[in-house]
Amino acid sequence: MSQSMATVEQGAEKGKEPVDFSGSEILLRCLIEEEVEVVFGYPGGAVLPIYDSLYQGKLKHLLARHEQGAIHAADGYARATGKAGVVIATSGPGATNLVTGIANAQMDSIPLVCITGNVAQNLIGTDAFQEADIIGITMPITKHSYQVTDVRDLPRVVKEAFHIATTGRPGPVLIDIPKDVSNARASFSYPDSISIRGYQPKTNPHPLQVQRLHQAVAEASKPVILAGGGVVTSGAEEELIAFAEKANIPVTTTLMGLGGFPGQHPLWLGMPGMHGTYAANHALLETDLLIGVGARFDDRVTMGRLDKFATGAKIVHIDIDPAEIGKNVDTYIPLVGDVKKVLAAALSELPRSRSEAWVRQVGEWMREKPYTFRDAEDTLKPQWVIRHLHETTGGEAIVTTDVGQHQMWVAQYFPFARPRSFITSGGLGTMGFGFPAALGAQLARPDETVISVTGDGGFQMTNQELAVIALANIPVKIAIINNHCLGMVRQWQEVFYKKRYSEVDLSGTPDFVRLSEAFGVKAWRAKDKREAAQVWQEALAHPGPAVIDFWVTPEENVYPMVPSGASLDQMIMGDEAE
């Protein structure tokens, strides 16, 4: 029995009147019941009762400097742990500042519980001060949402919110609490369990479909596994390794799946798609059996050219979300269920495929056409920086990114060996995500080295959170890949718009070293490999937060590259070579 429940029942046993609590006190007791360790947020008028209860409570709260920073930090915490991240914001602009973070979590299936305040119920619909219809605004980008109208419903709502956010296909759940509900009083009793009619995620696979998978594997001579973020979410990395090795099937991992299969494994083909490896893309083109495991077959993998994608393959799709089956590709064998449970069930009596020659072929592609770049002694190449981060940490780090060139270079040159070690904005592609996400990840896993690899554009979107890591001495290492421009946009303008560079020059960017020092964060700058190696070691040795401003070659492009609208066989390999 929980402590709070015990307190309530003891009061009843002594013949006392039931103890009443305010709605805000009930909310915090619910969060404690859910074993929430830290809440990220920003106060305001509509959540004053909640923050007043926080003042006298024991729940840890981290005050961000912007609501977007708060929700990205909660997102990073969730991705690093698998638990729900919790964020609180006030009504109106506080709530709408969460929108990008909610959409980001929804696209990547990240469990969040987002708590917003609202004006009192008698003012809703009157255009009251700081009123916004946050339920309506976020309806398409949440897994579920609640507006609490009776304080007595609050414990059930919170219990359901955590259950929905973390089960099935995870996602963000929003709880909107009008101010009069936060102030209203009621007795407190937290449900031990919950059952929601109409929400019963299917986790175990159908045995007949597992048998069909066995038959397909036995008949395949060119099988490939496409592993996505569902492997990481379900904790299925061991089952995936066992499946691939037993059936002798090469594995390519999507951006969200990186870390779900060891980056040094001989069956690993790297990442597929727009900036994927030659081996992964050509394996997808020539395969006769494509097994999608917790992957969405999105346009960054298929390039939207389904007429050219795995045209000779039977496609098996394993996913917890039945809505994903058949959404983007025609599915030969649907396997709805939790990825870990499906793979575990499939391992029993799993045959070996007829893939010996195929495995040799894709292995030759990996050796003949790896990621390469043309290095230089007098300048600093971003690929060298990322590879150096990997070598000096032994890969034993959690790395976060935004979106853009630096994100792709991390995906290419930092071979992740563990799940939940790569935290990135996959589906939405959100600039400004990586740094606050690193903050949350570091709080979740304090004994790990956490590196935020970011661009000079993205860092300027959320660098106000430097105040938070300085104040709390959160030892995140921030590696800015500074090319003084919006690199990926510049690359596309170079390649596809005849070098008509439109609004990508970031001249006027502040001195990141002096800016960081103004916040109280130690910082360095490096312009060549010697400086980079030296200051990175100093930053790693520094016990607190650190910023390293790596000035890299502005003209460097990400290759290979499949142009938008082209198919996987139309890769631009670039002229890079080591």
67 is catalytic: yes
DSSP type of residue 505: B
Residue with tokens 């979106």: 403
Q: What angle do CA 276, 476, 412 make, to 5 degrees?
A: 10
As beta bridge partners, residue 39 has 61
Is 129 catalytic? The answer is yes
The encoded tokens of residue 82 equal 């698998």
Q: Which two tokens stand for residue 543?
A: 């016990």
* Helix runs in 371-527, H state only: 382-393, 405-413, 434-444, 456-462, 466-472, 487-496, 512-519
Helix (H) or strand (E) holding 358: helix 356-368
Query: Going by C-beta distance under 8 Å and a sequence separation of 6 or more, which residues neighbour residue 10?
Result: none
Residue in 25, 33, 67, 556 annotated catalytic: 67
Nearest to 69 by CA among 520, 446, 460: 460
Cα atoms in the 13 Å half-sphere on the side-chain side of 46: 27
187: Cβ–Cβ under 8 A, 6 or more apart, which residues?
8, 18, 19, 20, 21
Point out which residues pair with 87 in neighbouring strands: 40, 114
Give the C-alpha separation, 298 to 102, whole Å.
Answer: 20
Report the candidate in 388, 503, 374, 397 with the shortest Cα–Cα distance to residue 451.
397
Helix (H, G, I), strand (E, B) or coil at 193: coil
- Which residue among 159, 179, 381, 477 is the active-site one? 179
Secondary structure letter of residue 517 according to DSSP: H
Pairing outcome for strands 477-482 and 546-551: parallel
SS3 225: strand
Residue linked to tokens 């389904």 = 306
Q: Residue 162 catalytic?
A: no
Question: Catalytic one among 431, 461, 488, 561?
Answer: 488
Rounded CA-CA distance 415/259 in Å is 8
Q: Which residue of the set 5, 121, 130, 527 is catalytic?
A: 130
Report the amino acid identity of residue 176.
D
Residue linked to tokens 């396997």: 335
Catalytic residue, chosen from 3, 9, 129, 538, is 129
Strand partners, 112: 85, 172
User: Which one, of 354, 404, 392, 213, lies nearest residue 293 by Cα?
Assistant: 213
Active-site residue numbers? Answer: 67, 129-130, 179, 488
